[in-house]
Each structure stands twice: as structure tokens, then as C-alpha cells.
Amino acid sequence: MTELEAGRAERLAPVRSGAALQRYRDVLIALIAFAVLASLPLFTGSKALLDFVIRCSAYGLFATSLNLLVGYTGLTSFGHGMFFGLGAYSFGLIMQKLGVPIPVAFVATLAITAAVAAVIGAICVRLKEIYFAFVTLAFQMLIHSTILSWASFTGGDQGLRGGIPRPAFLGINLANHVHLYIASCALLVLGLLAMRQIAQSPFGYTLRMIRDNAARASFLGIDVWRAKLTVFVLAALFASMGGMVMALFVSGAYPEFAYWTISGEGIFINMLGGVSTFLGPMVGTVLLLLLNDTVTRFTEYHGIVLGVVILFFALGLRKGLLDFVAEWFAQRRDAGEGR
């Protein structure tokens, strides 16, 4: 009996410290990533490279938050881009009309996003699969047309013009290109770290259970509707953060930020990078932006090239790039254990 208990304790011990270690490891990786990104301006004067990283931050936050829905919960949203647009417009309008400090506008935008996402989510998450996808798409179109038709407030199809004021705060001047770059990297790393925590929390495993078998989850006492609504709102917050980074970067907000093609690009990125690993969407973001930038330089038919690439991933690999790499490593490891 004591031997059995000893054996049990032995088996449990690594799991217990494992969860804590995993957290420290994630924080360490985040710190290193931030240090590398933040030191980049010391080595290169290339404004294009820094711009590229800023855009990766905006899209990466957006695409990774979409993966919380698609990959972790099995909720394929075709309208997630509405929160990207909402973030950009709310932030831009608050800065233009109210002239409050940037952190205040940042928090206020998150609050607005949470409220809007809670209302839209409460309607959408009752639906399943294709119905959920279509209703999210419908809400996206609703927000887009509101922006277009409410021209006196949003600038209509011209977008928010005249630039977004970027007053300095706490010694950070976002009108300065390097400051903006470092702030974007910081937001990206913090956002990813927070989303990683969500994915690896007990709630994250609740999401996986709902994805695999929602009916069974409810027979374990889980309120499926509430869990789905919670993740819908959380994902919207990070998408909104991405939108704010974008608004700061271009110093404005345009109707395209809220158009359905943004949601489409989010899905595209997730397919490119893969949805079964946490960093898949980040890899997809870099791939898509690289492709976009290089292909548009060579041909005006870049849509065809991107289409062929996505066909290669969808039909050829049948998974995203990082999914493919992760599986390859898993197979190698299993083969190694077999020997």
C-alpha cells in the first residue's frame, strides 16, 4: 500500500512542478523575444523592417485571438475582423474627439469592445458551426455599413482623417517611430503571453472540451454557453488591441479595417500557420505579410499567387506550417522512443 502511494506521489510530482515550470518558461521566452525585438533598432536603421514588425504585431494579435475561437473552442468566426475595426475606430475617435491620454483611450476602447462583444456574442454563440459563422459575418457587415453611412461621425468611406493625436505619456512618445515600434512589440508580447495563459488555464481546457464534445462538457456540469461567450469577449479584446496598434501605426482608421476581408485574412493566416499550436497564427502572420509585400512588388495579380499558396497548404499539407512542423517532431520523437 505504501509502495503504491509512493509510486503515485512519484508520478504526480513532475506534473505538479511541470505546470509552474511551463509558466516560467513562457515568461522567459516572452522576455527573450521582447529583448530581441526591442534591440532591433540598435542594429538596423531600416524603417521598412520596423514597420513590418509593427504590422506583424497588429495582425498577430488579431490572428492569435481568432485562433482562441477557431482552434481552441471550435468556433469558426467569419466576422472577427469587426473587433479589429472597432478597436481602431474607437481608439481613433476617442483620441480625436476627447483628447485624453493614450492609456485612457486604450482602456476605454477595451471597455467598449467588451460591451459590444458581449451583446453580439450573446446572440452568436447560441448558434453552431456554419450558422455561427454566418451570423458573425452579418454583424461584421452591419458594423462596416454603419461606419460607411454615419459619415458625420466616422468620416464615411474616407475614414478618420487628419491623423490621430499621439500625445506623449510617461516619457513615451508614440509619434516617434522607434517609441511606437517598441510599444507595438510590448503590446504584442504581453498580448501573446496573456492569450497563452488563457489557453493553458483550466478555462483553456474547458474550451478544448467544448470543441471536442460540447454535449459531454455540459454533462460534466459546464455551462457551455457562458464559456463560449467568455472566450468570444476575450478574443474580441485582443483583436481590438491589434486594431489599436494598426490605428496608431497609420495614424487613422479606415473602413477596410472593419470589412469582411480582414476576417478572411485572419482565417487565411490561421490556415497558413496552423491552428493546433499556439504560435501557429503568429507564423502565419509573418508568412502572409511577407508574401503580400514581396508578391505585390512583382505582380499586380497577387491574389492568384496567394490563392495558389493557400491551396498548397490546404490540399498539399492539409494543415498549417507550424502544425506540420510540430507533427514532424512528434513523429521523430515517437520513432526515437520506439527504438
Place of cell 511577407: 290
Q: 277: how many CB neighbours lie within 10 A of its CB?
A: 19
Stretch in the footprint of other proteins (CB under 8 A) among 122-130, 185-193, 194-202, 261-269:
194-202
**Residue 155 Cβ, how far from other proteins at the closest point, in Å?**
37
Q: Is residue 333 within the footprint of other proteins (CB under 8 A)?
A: no
Cα distance between residue 69 and residue 73, in whole Å: 5
Q: What are phi and psi of 172, to 5 degrees?
A: -105, 125
Among candidates 61, 74, 286, which has minimal Cα distance to 196? 61
**Do residues 239 and 65 touch, judged by C-beta distance below 8 A?**
yes
Q: Is residue 213 within the footprint of other proteins (CB under 8 A)?
A: yes
Q: 125: how many CB neighbours lie within 10 A of its CB?
A: 25
| Nearer CB in complex with other proteins: 211/302 | 211
Q: Is residue 202 within the footprint of other proteins (CB under 8 A)?
A: yes
Place of cell 468556433: 75
Write the binding mask 13 to 42 for other proteins: x where contact by CB under 8 A, - elsewhere.
--xx--xx-xx-------------------
Q: Is residue 170 within the footprint of other proteins (CB under 8 A)?
A: no
Q: Is residue 335 within the footprint of other proteins (CB under 8 A)?
A: no
Tell me the H-state helices in the chain: 2-43, 47-67, 81-98, 102-124, 129-149, 151-154, 177-200, 202-218, 224-250, 260-273, 280-298, 302-311, 321-338
Using CB under 8 A, which of 42, 220, 308, 315 touches other proteins?
220
Using CB under 8 A, which of 160, 217, 246, 248 touches other proteins?
217
Using CB under 8 A, which of 6, 8, 98, 104 touches other proteins?
8
Question: Which spans of this chain sit near other proteins (rule: CB under 8 A)?
Answer: 8, 12, 15-16, 19-20, 22-23, 197-198, 200-206, 208-209, 211-213, 215-223, 226-227, 230
